[in-house]
Structure 1
Amino acid sequence: MPAFPRPTSPGVAVSGTAGRRLGAAAAASAALLAGSLALAPGAQAAGGGYVALGDSYSSGVGSGSYISSSGSCERSTLAYPYLWSQAHSPSSFSFEACSGATTSDVLSSQLGTLSSSTSEVSITIGGNDAGFASTMETCVLEGTSSCLSAVSSDENFVNTQLAPKLDAVYSAIKSKAPNAHVVVLDYPHLYEVPGSCLFGIGDTSRTAINGAADDLDSVTAKEAAKYGFTFADVRSAFEGHEICSNDSWLHSTTLPIDESYHPTSAGQADGFLPVFSKDA
């Protein structure tokens, strides 16, 4: 679930291996990726264009190595869409996912590069619509009772209001990219319960937060199925790697604050990427 999002900005298309102005850390990461993510022998390159849509879980917030030109969208060269494009060489790659994006943001600023020649689309969306960012802040700062109340409010929104918002996005994708294979990815559980954390919110709140993720994922799966889209469930991939596990692929409360409760680079490469690659 995206948390503490940055302001959104219009999507920025990134095509293939086009030059990007990266910081020193990003350049070093890209150099390492070049060898490890080359198209493997026998692998088939994607036949058409790939467009990556969605929120911070798809832009790669929390994984570092941000593309400087993406600004507050914080698109990362270590995010699963970028890693997949490097490994499969689609004819074009448009990286539109943006930190803080809601369904309305996807509709207004992320669909411009979709076309009949688009062959692959990925998306994570819905967490920001439900308000999970402010809920996590409440849970961390205000205690169990306030946390459970905030989570309950989010779940009510997800179960009563989110479906038509997802429908609007999925319908637009279907209309603009009728020939594309669309993969809708969901959100992992944030916490291992019980886990090894000695401090922070308690297990009651952690369990409730995980339950809200299940509600969100369930609604997402149902709506994606209406359009014949592939639903890619990452929860099992993150099992044993949640916050409070001994090998977490998710940030807890951290600085910079916008990376809190987002996948690390390992979460992108070892969690999201294999799940997407299996279904792409």
Structure 2
Amino acid sequence: MTRRPTLRCTLAAVAAFAAALGGVAATGPTAQADPRTTASTPLAPELEKVRAAEATKLYGSAAERPMAERKTSLLSLGDSEISGEGVGTYEPGTNGPDNWCHRSPDAAIHRTGIPADVTYNVACSGAYTGNIRIGGSKQYADELVQSDNLAVKARNTRVKMVLLVAGANDDLQFGPVITDCVTRYLTLQGPCEPKYAPGWQARVDALVPKVEQTVRDLRTVMKDAGYADGDYKLVVMGYPSPIGPDIEDNPDFPGKLPGGCVGHTSDSAWGRNTAVPAFERGMRRVARNTGALYLDNSRLFHGHEVCMEDTWARGLYVDLANPFPPNANSVRQSFHPNARGHGAFASCLTQLYRSGHREAGCADPASTGTPALYPGGWDDAYRPLKNAATGACVDAYGAASANGTQVGGWPCGGSRNQEWWYDAGQKSLHSALTHDRCVDVPSAKYTAGTAVVLWNCHGGGNQQFVRSAESIRPVAAQDLCLTLGSAEDALRLQKCDGAANQRFA
């Protein structure tokens, strides 16, 4: 069971964050009914010993079996985001004192609905691309380079899916950045956004080629094991933001320190609105440039961030018992997906595998706790809504997304708070700032002049609209249309009359 964050921490323990936050931290489908039978390239002697030992456990024999006679498998590689760091339950030998990979039996790869005989999690908290690539370095003495681990398992089983989650520990250095932001908050310093925002895109641009080469190395490993590219699915998955600025909308908000969501609220907004989306776009480039499948989960935790009602991530956490006395490893579980977060990953991966999509985005559209998959990346879904009469764009005022934020017209500027997505299935209109905020008719007051606002998406009737031509009408009152009276007026309900100020494109 995941324990509630322990907050009797010292600033020294928080300062140790920089060396600790492993992973985010410092350091249907094709049926495969006719699998390839190409002979594999022989492994190096030391790896062959590992392969033979694993084969004996699987089959009672050390022989490398024909592809059609093998057990099927799924396999995840990468860093703490997918290893299970933050879940709180870990496989023996990965919870210190000499190995801190923090692989969890509750990690996503073990919980999908994809049929497979065995599942392997070879990801390791703190890994960077150099721990995954061909010829890379081991993280710990008892660990294989992750590509070598794949090479072994690809010869002993028939791999159906390879999942890669990596990059945050290369140039991006997510962990030290989060550490600095938390430390600045606790030591009464200013926000960290001004320090990191100017160079953030350059960091993303620098890490993309490294992850691309990692994907190509994994393809090479699979080819050497006798696979063609079409024999398995290779998925690149990004990171959801574990934090957000709307924590006080939670009716049970515990406070930043008790809830573990410490940090300046403006930094949380920058992380959600800018830092994570930039990384996600980088991972999409990786997938496109290498032919991998792409799972955009940048919005998956929206509404489920630390300190929200149903959090899918663990906040600031200090384990005072392991190790003892506490050191940098005591805080490494902080700001990582919890067991519910890995359940969400597993659901999204299952849907992607079955969908046939090469790119797809996953999110919880109505705060139900059930992720849904949509074709394409989220950047393709969200678009401005430009009013035909005024030329103004629909805007979430102040770039805010808290419950009750006013929605109205403003000169078009291309900012995220002027982008919107209409979910035809849910009939909801979402703000690009967060998938968890929808255009809402307050108290279901369907009268002319009512101004709409943003509110936590819940799927209720007062958040359902139909798009007819270029008009937007409440499902419950289709004689009313969203109307922009002037370029900087609030967006209001008015009787539909076909006027240009009721048309949005």
- Alpha-carbon distance between aligned partners in 2 of 1:132 and 1:216, rounded to the nearest angstrom: 10
> Pick from 338, 345, 362: which aligns with 1:272?
345
Residue number in structure 2 paired with 1:187: 239
State the Cα deviation string for residues 58-101 of structure 1 (Å, max 9, x = none): 110111221013331111001101223xx545244332100001
State the Cα deviation string for residues 18-61 of structure 1 (Å, max 9, x = none): 79xxxxxxxxxxxxxxxxxxxxxxxxxx9733221010111101
Shift of 1:252: 1.5
- Alpha-carbon distance between aligned partners in 1 of 2:350 and 2:93, rounded to the nearest angstrom: 26
1:157 and 2:203 equivalent?
yes
Cα RMSD over matched residues?
2.9
State the Cα deviation string for residues 240-276 of structure 1 (Å, max 9, x = none): 101232221111111231111101111111x211111
1:119 and 2:171 equivalent?
no
- Residue 53 to residue 146, structure 1, CA distance change in 2 (3 Å): same
Residue number in structure 2 paired with 1:206: 268
Residues 48 and 120, structure 1, Cα contact 8 Å, conserved in 2: no
Between the two structures, name the one with larger relative contact order (CA 8 Å, sep ≥ 6): 1
1:171 and 2:208 equivalent?
no
More strand, by proportion: 2
1:260 and 2:286 equivalent?
no
Unaligned runs of 5+ in 2: 1-17, 28-49, 59-69, 137-144, 223-228, 257-261, 320-330, 354-505
Residues 160 and 232, structure 2, Cα contact 8 Å, conserved in 1: yes
Q: What code does the residue aligned with 2:337 have?
A: P
* Identity among equivalent pairs (%): 22
Q: What code does the residue aligned with 2:110 have?
A: Y
Give the 5 Å matches for 1:34-73.
Answer: 48-70=72-94, 71-73=99-101
Residues 74 and 159, structure 2, Cα contact 8 Å, conserved in 1: yes
Give the 5 Å matches for 1:85-124.
Answer: 88=114, 90-107=116-133, 108=136, 109-112=145-148, 113-114=150-151, 115=154, 117-124=158-165
- Alpha-carbon distance between aligned partners in 1 of 2:147 and 2:201, rounded to the nearest angstrom: 28
- Alpha-carbon distance between aligned partners in 1 of 2:234 and 2:71, rounded to the nearest angstrom: 14
- Alpha-carbon distance between aligned partners in 1 of 2:276 and 2:71, rounded to the nearest angstrom: 34
State the Cα deviation string for residues 195-224 of structure 1 (Å, max 9, x = none): 226433222111122211111111101111
> Pick from 116, 135, 138: which aligns with 2:177?
135
Q: Which is further off, 115-124 or 144-153? A: 144-153
Shift of 1:151: 4.7
- Alpha-carbon distance between aligned partners in 2 of 1:248 and 1:15, rounded to the nearest angstrom: 38
Q: What code does the residue aligned with 2:266 have?
A: T
Residues 183 and 232, structure 1, Cα contact 8 Å, conserved in 2: yes
- The count of residues paired between Structure 1 and Structure 2 equals 245
Residues 66 and 76, structure 1, Cα contact 8 Å, conserved in 2: yes
Q: Select the structure of larger CA radius of gyration.
A: 2
Q: What code does the residue aligned with 2:147 have?
A: L
Residue number in structure 2 paired with 1:26: none
More helix, by proportion: 1
